[in-house]
Amino acid sequence: MIQCNADGKRDNAVFLFTNIEYEVEAKEKLTFMALNDALTRIPNMRTFSTDVAEMLRTYPKEEFLMISIDIGQFRLVNKLFRYSEGDNVLKYFATKLQEIIESYDKGIYCRMASDIFYACISEKENVEEFLSVLQTGMKNYPLKFELKLYFGIFKITDRMEPVEYMVEHSSYARLEAKKNPLQNIAYYNDELKKKEFFEAVVVSEMEQALQEGQFEVYYQPKCNSLTKQIIGAEALIRWNNPEKGYLSPGIFIPIFEQNGFVTEVDYYVCTQVCKKIREWMDHGVTPVPVSINISRCDLYDKELLSRIMSTVDEYQVPHNLIEFEITESAFILESNLLVSFTKALRKEGFCVLIDDFGSGYSSLNSLKNIDVDVLKIDIAFLPVSTGEKKSPIIMEAVINMAQKLGLDTVAEGVETVEQLELLEKLGCYKIQGYYFYKPMAVTDFEKLLRK
């Protein structure tokens, strides 16, 4: 509002003052926004880092703990209720965190992003109590289900280490806590340190490894148990690391899934397989269909599908020779993305398999919404030992259901003649497993094909 003096003219002195007042207020607001989190109004990560470094300098003799906190099932709050309810949960938790830390004579806290918070407190405080006050606070939040907190705790040993690294160590411990359903607290220890270091090395080497061709595609034949003929193969990746030797995908694929690199690897496998099939066709070797594993992370890559299609066509590989295995867990977690992904593949004449069927996620319901061609059942998920009565009944039901739904079945992980005989009795003749062949280098697989 512009103020005027008695003769109706603008009073410049008042105007100037109001303007300065407004500017000061705006500046204060901007400073507050730069240092704090807009939603919860507690410090942000930038302020946290500076303040932790300052606290460590001020109290050189005192031991401190870096604690990373995650509100479990937070995504569910946003999904089931409104986003405003999610905001309320975050504000509520921030207040609890602020209250407890401000009751200590020192301690720093912040919200990093989403539902991730950090605290740095003195080891003199009662840590168990700290965690339990926060957890009880969350339990009291009025929701239909209980919100469980996950904590990762890192004892600061090297004060020269950047605060960002301390934060990373505590986050690493928190992720470990989340992996184990029986606990919600994990301490960063020597074992985790080794694991974190190993993962950091893997991540730092992965791109060069891909460029240098250190990843090798192995092939595990799929056989018809009646004719004993090879009717297909699965492409399985190995990392021939110059220092560590052969690394199995079980070690590095989960790491690549965390940083998205898995999509590059899967595309690489696809390219290698297409190249090989072309080569076989050009040299008079009758090819068999080869299946490629698709990680659920791949579904987020909008370009992948078109890259796959153009590669297959570049090598002029008939579409019936390429198949895609998508793990069962993706059918639950990414069902919307999957519907369009599988539809697009099948429209182009590619065969789609549900991998690891029966591995624990109930995918029966998803079969209703997603069209696939083959159920791949891992016999390891349903141990069939002699004398065991229930597993064969479940296996029979799954195979019958697949047949009624017009789906083909492949059994993998078949190691013994008893398992083979049972599968044959139940009408499943497509077999992959050590009973016939282990995964092998491409040159060995070629020899088998030539035979």
Q: CB 361 → ligand C2E: shortest distance, Å?
A: 14
Which of ligand C2E, Ca ion, none lies near 295, with the C-beta cut-off 5 to 8 A by kind? ligand C2E
* C-alpha span between 210 and 256 (Å, rounded): 12
Closer to ligand C2E at the Cβ: 260 or 318? 260
Among 72-80, 127-135, 148-156, 289-297, which window interacts with Ca ion (CB under 5 A)?
289-297
Cα of 248 vs its chain's centroid, Å = 18
Closer to Ca ion at the Cβ: 68 or 342? 342
Q: CB 433 → ligand C2E: shortest distance, Å?
A: 3
Closer to ligand C2E at the Cβ: 110 or 269? 269
What token pair was written down for 112?
């990093």
Which of ligand C2E, Ca ion, none lies near 237, with the C-beta cut-off 5 to 8 A by kind? ligand C2E
Q: CB 382 → ligand C2E: shortest distance, Å?
A: 13
Q: Which of residues 339-368 bind Ca ion (CB under 5 A)?
A: 355-356
Q: Which of residues 293-312 bind Ca ion (CB under 5 A)?
A: 293
Q: Which of residues 315-334 bind Ca ion (CB under 5 A)?
A: 325
Which of ligand C2E, Ca ion, none lies near 423, with the C-beta cut-off 5 to 8 A by kind? none
Three state DSSP letters for 401-425:
HHHHCCCEEEEECCCCHHHHHHHHH
Give which of 426, 420, 417 is closest to 392, Cα–Cα. Answer: 426
* Partners of residue 223 on adjacent β-strands: 230, 431
Closer to ligand C2E at the Cβ: 171 or 225? 225
Q: Which long-range contacts (CB under 8 A, 24 or more apart) does 102-109 make?
A: 106/55, 106/59, 108/43, 108/48, 108/51, 108/52, 108/55, 109/42, 109/43, 109/48
- Binding residues for ligand C2E, rule: CB under 6 A, are 220, 236-237, 248-250, 253, 262, 266, 269, 293, 295, 325, 355-356, 412-415, 432-434, 439
What token pair was written down for 105?
């004579």
Closer to ligand C2E at the Cβ: 154 or 324? 324
* C-alpha span between 180 and 151 (Å, rounded): 12
Q: CB 198 → ligand C2E: shortest distance, Å?
A: 17
Q: CB 216 → ligand C2E: shortest distance, Å?
A: 11
Radius of gyration of the chain from its Cα atoms, rounded to whole angstroms: 29
Segment holding 292, helix H or strand E: strand 290-294
Which of ligand C2E, Ca ion, none lies near 439, with the C-beta cut-off 5 to 8 A by kind? ligand C2E
* C-alpha span between 93 and 95 (Å, rounded): 5
Per CB under 5 A, residues contacting Ca ion are 293, 325, 355-356
